[in-house]
């Protein structure tokens, strides 16, 4: 076992100062991804800065259609929040699909999006909702935040503090989950907003989450599952692995999109 120095941050400023002093430090909250990676030596940080006890990072605030979720809010709280369930039931439902109860009670929305696993659920939702990712330094549009596989626009020492968005007119999410991890083999989040229809795919793209122009064009005409009947999703640029081929994922994208829109109805 290698040495690692543990720090318990008391505030966002404290966490940033601690990470700035470390040779190769990492923020940790739920640790659902980082700790397993450390166990198999895929990650070997010199320092861990624990954000679990930073109260300002937790909580959900709904003010009319304006929603703010603290980065330290666990998935279980997102799933159970009654105000969020009224404003954006699709996001609450999505949170309830993540992992198992142990994961949902430890993993956080901030940790999930900062890690940006290509099969994670939240990135698709945030891009579809036109959300904004707030850090200790700036605000970043979700569409600009997720830059590639396990890559984001975060700079060294920068941390996610919250996400905000305006509740959509309609939204839905469906995924075909890996039976073991519950990560999405394919997931599609659809939303009807003031800016138009959006459909964002997770689990399928070689470069992470992406908007499906084919589905969006169909839903712009009618936000109804039947509008997708004639849509064809190209397999170019989709992943092929032990779980599904690119062609199968292309088929699943259409199926999950139809189910997501039907769920809204």
pLDDT tens track for 94-128 = 999 999 999 999 999 999 999 999 999 999 999 99
- CATH number, span 5-50: 3.30.43.10
CATH architecture of 170-264: 2-Layer Sandwich (3.30)
Q: Where are the domains of the chain?
A: 5-50, 57-166, 170-264
pLDDT reading at 1 higher than 90 = no
Compute the half-sphere exposure of residue 76: CA atoms within 13 Å on the CB side of its CA.
Answer: 9
Site of tokens 């959300």: 131
> Topology of 57-166 in CATH?
3.30.465
5, β-bridge pairs: 47
- Mean pLDDT of the residues in the chain: 96
25-28 and 47-50 strand pairing: parallel
Q: What is the pLDDT of residue 2?
A: 76
Neighbours of 232 (CB within 10 A): 9
Mean pLDDT, rounded, for 64-93? 98
Give the model's confidence band at 147: pLDDT under 50 very low, under 70 low, under 90 confident, else very high. Answer: very high
pLDDT at 42: 87
Q: How many CB atoms lie within 10 A of CB 136?
A: 14
| Residue with tokens 């076992």, as numbered in its chain | 1
- Summarised one tens digit per residue, pLDDT across range 158-203 is 999 999 999 999 999 999 999 999 999 999 999 999 889 999 999 9
> Environment class of residue 216 by beta-carbon count within 10 Å: exposed (0-12), middle (13-18) or buried (19+)?
middle
């Amino acid at each position: 076992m290698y040495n690692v120095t543990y720090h318990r941050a008391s505030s966002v400023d404290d966490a940033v100062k601690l990470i700035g002093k470390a040779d190769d430090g990492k923020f940790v909250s739920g640790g659902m991804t980082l700790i397993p990676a450390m166990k198999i030596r895929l990650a070997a940080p010199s320092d861990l800065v624990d954000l679990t006890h930073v109260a300002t990072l937790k909580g959900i605030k709904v003010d009319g259609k304006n929603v703010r979720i603290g980065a330290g809010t666990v998935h279980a709280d997102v799933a159970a929040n009654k105000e969020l369930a009224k404003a954006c039931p699709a996001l609450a439902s999505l949170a309830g699909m993540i992992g198992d109860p142990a994961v949902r009670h430890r993993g956080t929305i901030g940790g999930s999006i900062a890690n940006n696993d290509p099969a994670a659920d939240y990135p698709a939702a945030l891009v579809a909702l036109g959300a904004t990712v707030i850090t200790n330094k700036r605000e970043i549009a979700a569409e600009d935040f997720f830059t590639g596989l396990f890559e984001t626009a975060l700079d060294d020492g920068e941390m996610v503090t919250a996400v905000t968005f305006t509740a959509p007119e309609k939204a839905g999410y469906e995924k075909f989950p890996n039976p073991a991890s519950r990560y999405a083999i394919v997931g599609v989040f659809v939303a009807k907003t003031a800016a138009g229809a959006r459909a964002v795919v997770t689990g399928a793209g070689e470069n992470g989450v992406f908007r499906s122009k084919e589905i969006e064009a169909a839903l712009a005409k009618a936000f109804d599952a039947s509008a997708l009947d004639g849509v064809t999703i190209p397999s170019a640029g989709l992943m092929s692995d032990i779980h599904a081929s690119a062609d199968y994922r292309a088929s699943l994208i259409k199926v999950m999109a139809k189910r997501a829109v039907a769920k809204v109805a």
